[in-house]
Structure 1
Amino acid sequence: MNILIVDDEQFAIQGMLDGINWDMLGFDKVLTACSYEEAVSIVKKTYVDILVSDIEMPGESGLKLIAYMNEHSANTECIILTCHDEFDYAQTAVRLNCMEYVLKPVRYQKLTEILLRAREKVNQRRQNEQIRQYGQQFIDSLAKETKGDAVNALEMAVEYIDSHLAEELSVRDLATLCYVSADHLTRLFKKKYGMTVSEYIQEKRIRLAGELLQREDLTISMVANTVGFGNYSYFTEQFKKHYGMTPREYQKQIRK
């Protein structure tokens, strides 16, 4: 964790460096700057978790620096440390979401307590971000697994249907075979093929019937049974819906 102290008075910076137990606070780097420009230069190179800044400095003010931090390093906790108690300054600091507005002189013990609170806020934000990232990773992982399971279930169902068209096929039995619910399997077929499982089976049977009717060694009844239609009249009705003609008319047309 890094902290940046900004003050145009070097003795003020040195006083904080000497008067605060930085090892106890657990900062990795204690950076210092004497102006807005120097502080911005540091921030561009090194991430700053906590900023402690005076207000009035040569060039741009500490409030301008905090505005810069809000734009370029929004998660940095900012603390104003100044001898100016003007209401306008304090009001601006509040508007800029400063964590603390501290008047000089300040006891190092009090400043240490403020820095401890700032450190806790930084740590809490980091923990929240880690939890959010872990949660997102879990959701992404679960989505991939779910997607994989869905693809496997769909492939299993289609493969079984294609190789068992002559048999009685029910959505419930297919769902059990694929380890999913009947409703879920239906949703998968609707999403992939734009039709229900039953409609898909019917479509497959009729298309296969059209191919088999081109063979001269198969009668219409044999074709109907082969593709899973035990009722000849129902087969004729469904075939005509799909091809616009009866199986016999279709057979005559392709054998001309």
Structure 2
Amino acid sequence: MENRTEGKKRGKEMNVLIVDDDVPYLNSLCREIHWKALLAEEVYTAMGGAEAMEILRARAIDLLITDIEMPGKSGLHLLDWCREESYRCMTIILSSFPDFSYAQRAISLGVFSYLLKTSEYSVLEDMIRRAMVELMRRREQQEETSEARQPGQIEKIRYYISEHISEEINRSMLAKYVGFSPEYLSSYFKKMTGQSLNSYINSEKIYFSQKMLLQTDLPISMIAQNLGFETSSYFTALFRKMTGMTPREFRKKRTGVKDQLF
């Protein structure tokens, strides 16, 4: 079955859902745990299993922290439902008292940890940190698997750049086109090609500018503008850095024609 928590590539931040009918305890968890330090992007709360299910349907939850004893749908009922619906979020179970049968059932459902509510917040925070590390490891593994299954992604990126070469290429739009996060796009391209994304974009723009210098008599300032450079001076500096000569020198050397400045 499809993993309902998977989708487009995401960054390092994780979404957390805490489920507990004990409102004071629920509020204390939100207040006492250092969520930002644990890379929690959003911390959602629910006071019962039914409410938790609605949040799970609407949000991509990475870590579920739930009380095991709740009226109506218990924590175990919630875990059974998550399994049936293919929500593969990692789970930490909280219990008010030790119960071997509860713990045994929770472990059989694949929970990451089973903790007593009497545990200090530091113990719970340490367990959440471990869960986050494991989640990140799994996410990276999933992304590597996705890379292996999608060998055409680099070609797709290069195609987008070639089609938008006359624009100031927006990394966010490019990332959306291939279904990656902007951060993952950069690291993925570097990993697969050995060249940074910005370096590749600049090299393609300079290559295209060389063709325009040789095949047209457009002024350098217009070529720079048509390739999405903010100023012709920046274009000239980048051209010299990558070719060892200015655009004017390049055109004159190759064609013998002096360039129009404007």
Which bracket does the TM-score occupy, shorter chain normalised? 0.5 to 0.7
Give the corresponding residue for 1:168: none
Per-residue CA deviations over 1:193-241 (Å, capped at 9, x if unaligned) read xxxxxxxxxxxxxxxxxxxxxxxxxxxxxxxxxxxxxxxxxxxxxxxxx
Q: 1:122 aligns with which of 135, 142, 152?
A: 135
Aligned position for 2:34: 21
Whether 1:2 and 2:28 are equivalent positions in the alignment is no
Q: Could you say which residue in structure 2 is the equivalent of 1:31?
A: 44
Residue 99 of structure 2 aligns to which amino acid in structure 1? E
Displacement of 1:139: 8.1
State the alpha-carbon separation in 1 of the partners of residues 134 and 146 from structure 2. 18
Identity of aligned residues (%): 35
Which has more helix, going by share of residues?
A: 1
Q: Which has the higher relative contact order, 1 or 2, with Cα contacts under 8 A spaced 6 or more apart?
A: 2
* Gap runs ≥5 in structure 2: 1-13, 156-262
Q: Which residue of 2 aligns with 1:113?
A: 126
Q: Provide the rounded CA distance (Å) in 1 between the counterparts of 2:113 and 2:54.
A: 24
TM-score between the two structures when normalised by the length of structure 1: 0.53
| Structure 1 alignment gaps of length 5 or more | 143-256
Question: TM-score by structure 2 length?
Answer: 0.52
SS at match of 1:80: strand
Report whether the alignment pairs 1:100 with 2:90. no
Distance (whole Å) between structure 2 residues aligned to residue 110 and residue 39 of structure 1: 24
Match of 2:90?
A: 77
Output the CA distance in 2 between the equivalents of 1:119 and 1:73: 20
Letter in 2 for 1:111: L
Which residue in 2 is equivalent to 1:59?
A: 72
Q: Secondary structure at the match of 1:28?
A: strand
CA–CA separation in structure 2 for the residues paired with 1:62 and 1:30 = 18
Q: Structure 1 residues 18 and 141 mapped into 2: Cα distance closer, same or farther (>3 Å)?
A: closer
CA deviation after TM superposition for structure 1 residue 74, in Å: 4.0
Q: CA RMSD, aligned part only? A: 1.8
Report 1:1-256 matches (<5 A). 1-138=14-151
Give the Å deviation of 1:75. 2.5
Q: Counterpart in 1 of 2:228? A: none
- Report how far residue 140 of structure 1 moved: 9.2
Q: CA deviation at 1:138?
A: 2.6
The CA distance in 1 between the partners of 2:152 and 2:73, in whole Å, is 46
Matches of 2:34 and 2:153, distance apart in 1? 43
User: How far has the Cα of 1:128 moved from its partner?
Assistant: 0.6
Return the alpha-carbon distance in structure 2 between the equivalents of residues 116 and 84 of structure 1.
Answer: 23
